[in-house]
């Protein structure tokens, strides 16, 4: 099974190598800003000519936004724009032009309605101090050295890794992987290299291929499994909040940069800013490590994993719980489960956003019309069952796999919820063309149910 996978390693750069990498990142920024200025100039000129009544055929010729066109324009003007262009790899300039071409295409598709999701704004110029320096290499000498502690990149030469690259090196030596690109980026004061690799992964089977598990996400517990297991929420951001507040106050007392006056930041401001960035990077690393361990365990052990399609964006509007919701990483859990279940031969079923998992009794199937967020125990008025609210929701999610997925078929892709509360079994299941095959992510139609949109669902957990 061919998949595209990323391998990310920390770098240990010398001062000379760090200056070289920064020069390449700066070259990418220069090419991006130059091409964006040219595109904006042509657009503004054509708009001005239209305002004067100039016919369309006499307007200034438009400029193509594709990467080949931008690259041709840059090659024709680089001697005047950047006489030092020979000091950097051509991949540095290609990085900036490629980023601009993608941004312009996303903006145009968003305006025309061909791109789903939130509206995309027009690209902006990259700042030297606020932009994260990065450069991407797609051609040339890109390899891992035999000692697995060094890599080779075009023009940058031999760079030392902070950790061993044996996981990637073994696949390259076995011929089951091919490096497609390498991106060098600075995160949290440390440089990292990310290899985009095409990997030939062996077919795998979960430990229990016929088992089904429902995963109910929350804040009080990061995940409540239908088996009754409670996965604690470590709350890494809350643990580091005191340190972050202290560094923020210290940083505010230093002499920082001021773009209006051209004032540069003091060395003390820069050192404090680096400390603050390292704390944020540590929080992100701890969160990433915990989520990967959880999702990997679920994908390797269970054949079918059922999760909810949570409206995380809407939940973040709750100012009281927004920080805790963002710290939990709900979207990352679902994203990682999507590809890890595919890698391990399982499948991921996604319940509709309006499916009343918390309001439905896992014993008899009765559905409550209302359930307050403060009610942590679910008490069924029909059968008298009393159970933890989150465990009840996870059991209902697990039951969806048997109720809506016939034996031998893949996940069901349906039209979505109608937000009407019904008892279990009364909602018709409609399977539309384009149903996801087995081993891929699907969507389960809701059984109905009304959710109070003014309050995030189970957000206080």
The single residue of 91, 342, 352, 390 carrying the catalytic annotation is: 390
Q: How far apart are CA 58 and CA 370, in angstroms?
A: 64
Active site residue 403: no
Q: Give the pairing type, strands 221-225 and 2-12.
A: unpaired
Which of 91, 98, 308, 327 does the annotation list as catalytic? Answer: 308
Per the annotation, the verdict on 216 as an active-site residue is: yes
Options 98, 216, 327, 352, the catalytic residue? 216
What is the Cα–Cα distance from 390 to 176, expressed in whole angstroms?
Answer: 42
Report the phi/psi class of residue 305: left, alpha or beta, with left for phi > 0 and alpha for psi in -120 to 50. beta
Whole-angstrom distance, CA of residue 86 vs CA of residue 71? 16
Is the distance from CB of 328 to CB of 291 less than 8 angstroms? no
| Rounded to 5°, angle at Cα 6 from 3 and 7 | 130
Residue count of the chain, please give it.
Answer: 461
Q: Is 375 in the active site?
A: no
Q: Which residues does the annotation mark as catalytic?
A: 216, 308, 390
């Amino acid at each position: 099974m061919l998949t595209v996978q990323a391998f990310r390693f920390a770098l240990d750069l010398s001062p000379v190598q760090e200056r070289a990498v920064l020069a390449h990142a700066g070259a990418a920024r220069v090419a991006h800003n130059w091409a964006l200025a040219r595109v904006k100039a042509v657009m503004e000129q054509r708009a001005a000519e239209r305002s004067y009544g100039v016919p369309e055929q006499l307007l200034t010729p438009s400029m193509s936004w594709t990467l080949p066109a931008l690259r041709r324009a840059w090659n024709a003007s680089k001697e005047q724009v950047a006489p030092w262009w020979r000091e950097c790899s051509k991949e540095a300039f290609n990085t900036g032009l490629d980023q601009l071409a993608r941004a312009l295409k996303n903006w145009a598709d968003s305006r025309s309605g061909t791109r789903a999701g939130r509206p995309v704004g027009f690209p902006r110029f990259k700042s030297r101090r606020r932009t994260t320096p990065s450069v991407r290499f797609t051609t040339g000498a890109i390899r891992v050295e035999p000692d697995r502690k060094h890599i080779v990149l075009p023009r940058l030469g031999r760079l030392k890794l902070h950790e061993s690259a044996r996981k990637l090196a073994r696949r390259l030596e076995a011929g089951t992987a091919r490096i497609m690109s390498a991106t060098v980026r600075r995160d949290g004061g440390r440089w990292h290299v990310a290899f985009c690799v095409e990997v030939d992964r062996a077919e795998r089977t979960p430990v229990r291929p016929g088992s089904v598990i429902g995963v109910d996400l929350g804040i009080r517990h990061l995940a409540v499994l239908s088996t009754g297991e409670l996965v604690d929420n470590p709350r890494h951001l809350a643990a580091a909040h005191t340190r972050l507040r202290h560094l923020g106050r210290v940083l505010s007392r230093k002499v920082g940069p001021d773009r209006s006056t051209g004032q540069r930041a003091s060395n003390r401001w820069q050192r404090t800013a680096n400390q603050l960035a390292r704390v944020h990077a540590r929080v992100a690393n701890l969160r990433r490590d915990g989520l990967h361990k959880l999702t990997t365990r679920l994908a390797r052990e269970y054949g079918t994993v059922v999760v909810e399609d949570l409206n995380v964006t809407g939940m973040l509007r709750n100012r009281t719980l927004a920080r805790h919701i963002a710290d939990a990483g709900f979207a990352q859990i679902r994203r990682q489960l999507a590809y890890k279940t595919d890698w391990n031969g399982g499948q991921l079923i996604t319940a509709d956003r309006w499916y009343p998992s918390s309001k439905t009794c896992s014993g008899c199937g009765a559905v409550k019309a209302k359930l307050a967020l403060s009610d942590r125990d679910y008490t069924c008025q029909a059968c008298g069952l009393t159970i933890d609210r989150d465990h009840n929701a996870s059991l209902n999610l697990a039951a969806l796999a048997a109720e809506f997925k016939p034996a031998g078929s893949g996940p069901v892709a349906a039209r979505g919820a109608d937000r009407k509360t019904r008892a279990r079994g009364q909602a018709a299941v409609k399977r539309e063309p384009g149903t996801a095959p087995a081993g891929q992510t699907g969507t389960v139609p809701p059984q109905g149910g009304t959710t109070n949109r003014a309050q995030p669902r189970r957000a206080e957990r």
